[in-house]
Amino acid sequence: MRVDLRRLPSPDDLLILLTVARLGRFNAVAETLGTTHTTISRRILALDKQLGGRTLERSPHGWELTQLGASAVTAAETIEETLGSLSGLIRQDQHALSGLVRISTSDGFGSEFVTPALVRLQRQHPLLNVEMLSATRKVSQNRSGVDLEIVVGRTDVSNAQTIFLSNYYLRLYASPAYAGEFGLPETLDGVGQHCFVSYVESALQVAELGHRWSAQLPMPKSSFQATSVFAQVEAVRRGAGIGLLPNFMVAGTPEFVPVLPDDFQRQLPIWAVARPESLRSAPVQAVIASLKEEVRSRQELLAG
């Protein structure tokens, strides 16, 4: 039934009348609703005008409903019940996270940051299912099948929202054994005389991750190329050469020594990217919040 909403009695005023009917005194109602008796008095007066009659009459023990008031209170009870059910629904949605969230992420950052963040969230919400798709890829244009993408580098997308998570650094590293056997270069040009460990350039989707990204790094004498950052880290650890690696994966361990740390580093941003409709999902929002918390609390590792 469609009615002219401008002509209806105020539902807020009806709810106030309901509280007056329950408590019997304006002061009690004001206290309960966190307002003043004067406001209550005025709202009842306004309601009486809207309804065209008196809703309350004085009695020795406070206010009592007129016949008109009783009809109004019946309507108010229905409204209260309806609003209460709606609130209950929302509160349920917010607290009991469930369903499936699919996340695409690079394997380095994914295993180091995304995995612990998701594990922590799933411990809080056992009904939440998580799928983590590891791929070092450029941000996709449509993200079908994926709720959230964790991407590196620039993000030129027009129909999605990007949420900055953190910066991290690619730096040159070698193993102590390699350094001891072959020495380390004194300048960046000297890097060309060494074996280089890197991504497979022809298969690389994020150019910033490759050694060709800037003219600073010369063509290597020989190279060890792998599509997995874990393989690269392992290759460097085993003395295959100098590698351009994410700092957060090797920094501070004695198995890796920095190469020309004052001369070269590359800063890369990491983003979470999602469609607007995905961002309205409480689980997705919870994942984002958990990721933010993870990078926030481990900022030293990312900056190191």
Distance CA 270, CA 282 (A): 22
Distance CA 266, CA 216 (A): 11
Q: Which stretch binds DNA (CB under 7 A): 37-45, 118-126, 149-157, 218-226?
A: 37-45
**Is 12 near its own copies (CB under 8 A)?**
yes
Alpha-carbon torsion 130, 133, 139, 141, what sign? negative
Residue choice 25, 125, 154, 292 for contact with DNA (CB under 7 A): 25
Residue choice 23, 28, 31, 66 for contact with its own copies (CB under 8 A): 66
Task: Give the closest residue to 171 by CA, choosing from 201, 111, 216, 112.
Answer: 216
Taking CB within 5 to 8 Å according to partner kind, which of its own copies, DNA, none is near residue 41?
Answer: DNA
**Is 72 near its own copies (CB under 8 A)?**
yes
- Residue 76's φ and ψ, nearest 5 degrees, are -65, -40
The secondary structure of 292-304 as a DSSP string is HHHHHHTHHHHH-
Task: Give the closest residue to 299 by CA, choosing from 238, 251, 229.
Answer: 251
Record the tokens describing residue 295, joined without a space.
Answer: 């990078």
Residue choice 27, 42, 49, 81 for contact with its own copies (CB under 8 A): 81
- Please give the DSSP secondary-structure letter assigned to residue 113: I
- Within residues 263-292, the interface with its own copies by CB under 8 A covers 276-277, 280, 282
**Is 9 near its own copies (CB under 8 A)?**
yes
Q: Is 194 helix (H, G, I), strand (E, B) or coil?
A: coil
Q: Which stretch binds its own copies (CB under 8 A): 78-86, 192-200, 208-216, 245-253?
A: 78-86
**What's the min distance (Å) between Cβ of 56 and DNA?**
9
**Is 54 near DNA (CB under 7 A)?**
no
Residue choice 38, 67, 129, 227 for contact with its own copies (CB under 8 A): 67
**Is 52 near its own copies (CB under 8 A)?**
yes
Q: How many Cβ atoms sit within 10 Å of the Cβ of residue 52?
A: 8
Residue choice 8, 27, 181, 300 for contact with DNA (CB under 7 A): 27
Task: Give the closest residue to 62 by CA, choosing from 23, 14, 13, 18.
Answer: 23
Residue choice 27, 45, 49, 93 for contact with its own copies (CB under 8 A): 93
Which residues would be at the binding site for DNA (CB under 7 A)?
25-28, 34-39, 41-44, 60, 62-63
